[in-house]
Structure 1
């Protein structure tokens, strides 16, 4: 993240429309929006631009949520950390509800931070009632109130004009720079947010022992050895059959969308609990999306072990998840930071492999050797021949194979070809895709 970049933080009590305003400013749906108070738990950072000023806009979890929600104190602490780093605060109010004691309490807290504050009255969707709705809020002791309707877009341009006026000239950001996306994936409570915080060196994602704490993906840009990475802490994924609330369905969608934006997935396993069916299902999402992968066995500090324990656990992973045999395994502790220093060097190596293109001459030499030693076997009376192959794409490495009888090539021979590609060219941490064609027609 650019340290000189301005940060605009949206704060307010639950259900005043913070996520709707956030989505309106960045121009598309990002944060989970729901009528249930307190839906947004983590702070979400996105880049925005207005009148030539670029800045980060931050959507925070609701202040002072329901007392029965044990996360409330944790969320308050995180918002305080976020707000103290802000260039400008947007204090959002519900115009139709009128000022509440909680609004007074939040504003008192924000004033103690000595950061510029714009007071914004949301849900003023009827201009005729606008003056009547916002008048009571002057009891908060503010000079100016900005009426908006985030859901309809009313007043947003005027508000952003004032926001831009409060911000210094920003540096030009090269949007063409492709920052590798690193998604942190795993079932609930495996330690994803703890890992994110340990890697970032700050408390960015909420950490709590309650499963399902992180609902939205949380993006954090970090720099390691002069290389930028975008870390994406995905919501904990549960099995579809276990989803009893709409929010869980939202979280699964957000995680799947996070996978679309990433290059590599850090696949986390709880070493203290062993492998579960949910682990395989979650990791299958990354495999199906064609993403590079690094398996992290977390909480290894809590496991009673000897010199054979890690080897036995790794063997179990290979046996129960053979579709991830290309992914290296690291045994770590996100909490104590044990072996975390190994993650980014390994990620960097894997990303090189993920984008590696094999020269055609080397591919041809390998194919000649393969066909000499082990040509495709006859299948159902048909004798398939392979004429040549070529690498059609990277990320993931994708090879197109031309044959007279592509449908007659058995899946075991496809597996053999993939294994030979791994043995010869490495491709550690990345899946390999094969596409069989006959005269330009893809194998069905």
Structure 2
């Protein structure tokens, strides 16, 4: 049974995304002083004490968008109003009643029985007296909150309990609406068709699609039920080169794309068949490999490339040569507009997720290790040859194997790649990334001289594979270094 939905509605820059993040408990929606940051509907489950409901963040009504997407944003808001069980009409106490507030109130009076008036930015007690002017809007008694100062949230939650009893006493239900779903993340450069593929799978215009680059800003989570299967589609903002991230807004969008890939079960790396492969595509492919995410390369707009005489076999060979880290990943050509092979994406995601969860019996694994070493022994790096004693699979998703050796600092740097390829050719783990970890075995002959008891034998690029910033340049709060910290 779906959870009750509560939508936040209001004009631009009244603090809808700030209130959304406070109620959710973490920075899901992008918050920025720029008007019109939020465009798509953003859903997230809220769990507070005995309450559980879906919260919906929307774009600002009346926004003037530089990309001319006002009509698309308005349609998203209309759908949110239509499907919401309750609506929080948010206003700004510092601005008072504006003409746009009055226009929104006129729309919401038709739904007055499920509308609550909430006045934001009441940061101190002296502003409490100013909220009564909003009675003139004719949508009920105003409630005061401050998303920035975390004021008034207890009264707001108590009010929701009264007007929407269905949100209470459902915390102990089986699981979250997102918990048992296969999470699929669409990642790629800007304007490659990620949102179009998402809409094609859903069969509706759930996320805004436009020719203008950078249409999607937040990472939008959307549930999809297909037969007996349950999916969570994560539509992310398109990335571009770091030096082209001129605004904080673009930086925050890219951070949420990175976070969306990390929490996904399967990643679809979407490419434009009519465009060249760029450095951003290669960076995304490398990041997916380092994160150990089962990844499929989706070649979108293939109908246009085929019309220009492109050959699929030649194109795949050309692509694998330029994405060596995902040479093993499956490739699928699609066209979001015509629906070409779009439904196959779901079957492919299920196959990759199942494959990444497979385990190899220890006996079989050690037979393969013995054969691999007999075929090609590690090149001698230290004073004595590297000895591989035995191996075991420690984890799945991604498949992780621990190989016990005499000294990890004597292991040839490229030997882990050789073992990966050898195992991939001879096991069911043919299309998913895997990790090889070398661990030193305790020995009375080495006098514990091996300071590195475990190593993944990774290079410098693997250690700093973040899409936005190297790991060392973030402070303990995950913000950018230097005098100016990142905002959520």
Q: What interval of TM-score do these two structures reach, taking the shorter chain for normalisation?
A: over 0.9
Deviation at 1:357, TM superposition (A): 1.2
Describe the SS at the equivalent of 2:6: strand
Asked if 1:141 corresponds to 2:138, the answer is: yes
Contact 1:89 1:115 in 2 (8 A): no
Deviation at 1:332, TM superposition (A): 0.4
In 2: Cα distance, 1:312 partner to 1:96 partner = 62
Which residues of 2 match residues 191-270 of structure 1 at below 5 A? 191-270=193-272
Match of 2:338 among 336, 339, 351: 336
Q: Which residue of 2 aligns with 1:162?
A: 159
Q: Which residue of 1 aligns with 2:4?
A: 6
In 1: Cα distance, 2:69 partner to 2:184 partner = 26
Describe the SS at the equivalent of 1:387: strand
In 2: Cα distance, 1:69 partner to 1:136 partner = 35
The size of the alignment, in residue pairs, is 441
In 1: Cα distance, 2:309 partner to 2:360 partner = 38
Describe the SS at the equivalent of 2:166: coil
Contact 2:12 2:59 in 1 (8 A): yes
In 2: Cα distance, 1:425 partner to 1:358 partner = 8
Distance 1:306 1:206, change over 3 A: closer
More deviation, 399-408/16-25 = 399-408
Q: Which residue of 1 aligns with 2:356?
A: 354
Contact 2:382 2:409 in 1 (8 A): no
Deviation at 1:224, TM superposition (A): 2.6
Q: Which residue of 1 aligns with 2:28?
A: 30
Deviation at 1:380, TM superposition (A): 6.6
Q: Which residue of 2 aligns with 1:374?
A: 376
Contact 1:14 1:63 in 2 (8 A): yes
Describe the SS at the equivalent of 1:319: helix
Distance 1:321 1:121, change over 3 A: same
Match of 2:73 among 75, 81, 105: 75
Which residues of 2 match residues 413-424 of structure 1 at below 5 A? 413-424=415-426
Contact 1:9 1:58 in 2 (8 A): yes
Distance 1:111 1:335, change over 3 A: farther
Q: Which residue of 1 aligns with 2:476?
A: none
Give the TM-score normalised by the residue count of structure 2. Answer: 0.86
Describe the SS at the equivalent of 1:421: helix
Contact 1:181 1:229 in 2 (8 A): yes
Distance 1:23 1:363, change over 3 A: same
In 2: Cα distance, 1:77 partner to 1:115 partner = 22
Q: Which residue of 1 aligns with 2:103?
A: 105
**1:402-421 residue CA offsets vs partner (Å, 9 max, x unmatched):** 12243333344322211111
Q: Which residue of 2 aligns with 1:120?
A: 118
Deviation at 1:202, TM superposition (A): 2.6
Q: Which residue of 2 aligns with 1:190?
A: 192
Q: Which residue of 1 aligns with 2:454?
A: 442
Deviation at 1:59, TM superposition (A): 0.7
Deviation at 1:369, TM superposition (A): 2.1
Contact 1:51 1:161 in 2 (8 A): no
Q: Which residue of 1 aligns with 2:42?
A: 44
Describe the SS at the equivalent of 1:210: coil
In 2: Cα distance, 1:356 partner to 1:213 partner = 38
In 2: Cα distance, 1:54 partner to 1:332 partner = 38
In 1: Cα distance, 2:114 partner to 2:104 partner = 14
Q: Which residue of 2 aligns with 1:84?
A: 82
Unaligned 5+ residue runs, structure 1? none
Q: Which residue of 1 aligns with 2:59?
A: 61
Deviation at 1:355, TM superposition (A): 1.3
Describe the SS at the equivalent of 1:313: helix
In 1: Cα distance, 2:375 partner to 2:24 partner = 57
Q: Which residue of 2 aligns with 1:18?
A: 16
Contact 2:93 2:127 in 1 (8 A): no
Give the TM-score normalised by the residue count of structure 1. Answer: 0.94
Deviation at 1:367, TM superposition (A): 1.7
Q: Which residue of 2 aligns with 1:317?
A: 319
In 2: Cα distance, 1:306 partner to 1:369 partner = 47
Q: Which residue of 1 aligns with 2:175?
A: 175
Deviation at 1:169, TM superposition (A): 2.9
Contact 1:186 1:283 in 2 (8 A): no
**1:176-203 residue CA offsets vs partner (Å, 9 max, x unmatched):** 8543321110011111111111112232
In 1: Cα distance, 2:234 partner to 2:415 partner = 37
Deviation at 1:226, TM superposition (A): 1.6
Q: Which residue of 1 aligns with 2:473?
A: none
Describe the SS at the equivalent of 2:252: helix
Deviation at 1:168, TM superposition (A): 4.3
Match of 2:304 among 294, 302, 305: 302
Distance 1:10 1:385, change over 3 A: same
Deviation at 1:154, TM superposition (A): 1.3
Unaligned 5+ residue runs, structure 2? 443-452, 458-488
In 2: Cα distance, 1:317 partner to 1:168 partner = 55
Q: Which residue of 2 aligns with 1:365?
A: 367
Deviation at 1:265, TM superposition (A): 0.7
**1:252-282 residue CA offsets vs partner (Å, 9 max, x unmatched):** 1111111221121110001111322221112
